[in-house]
Amino acid sequence: MKLRIPRDVKVGDKVYTVHYSPGEFIVDKDRCHGLCDTATRRISLNSEQPPDMLQLTFLHELTHAILWESGHKRLFRNEALVDHISTLLHGALFK
Ligand SMILES: [Zn+2]
């Protein structure tokens, strides 16, 4: 089953919009394929990723948004946890 990545995604009572741009993003000197900006409620994805990777990156950024909007602001920054949850979600839903 393919994951359709929505243009807007509800996270609780907030709406995040999904944007695409080519190339990697640099955050704190780390290269990444996506960003989750909680201030603007914007999820940005590297449009140059293969489709399977794009889905995984979307779920990764969505997991960041879910943690933030559910009040887990320290866990929001825990990349290992976010990676683990989003990888399991991807495997559960789309493999
Ligand atoms: Zn992350």
In a domain, 3, yes or no: no
Å from CA of 87 to ligand 1 middle? 12
The answer to whether residue 86 is domain-embedded is: yes
- Whether the Cβ atoms of residue 8 and residue 63 lie closer than 8 Å to each other: no
In a domain, 1, yes or no: no
Report yes or no on 29 lying in a domain. yes
Indicate whether 27 belongs to any domain: yes
Q: Which helix (H) or strand (E) holds 10?
A: strand 8-11
User: How many angstroms separate the alpha carbon of residue 45 from the centre of ligand 1?
Assistant: 12
User: Considering its fold, how many domains does the chain have in total?
Assistant: 1
Going from the Cα of 66 to the center of ligand 1, the distance in angstroms, rounded, reads: 12
CATH assignment at residue 76: 1.10.10.2910
CA of 60 to the centre of ligand 1 (A): 6
Q: How far is the CA of 82 from the centre of ligand 1 (A)?
A: 6
pTM above 0.95, yes or no: no
Is residue 54 in some structural domain?
A: yes
Domain range holding 45? 8-94
Torsion-angle region of 24 (φ positive above 0: left; ψ -120 to 50: alpha; else: beta): beta
Express as a percent the part of the chain with pLDDT over 70. Answer: 97
Note the pLDDT of residue 30. 85
Instruction: Establish if 2 belongs to a structural domain.
Output: no
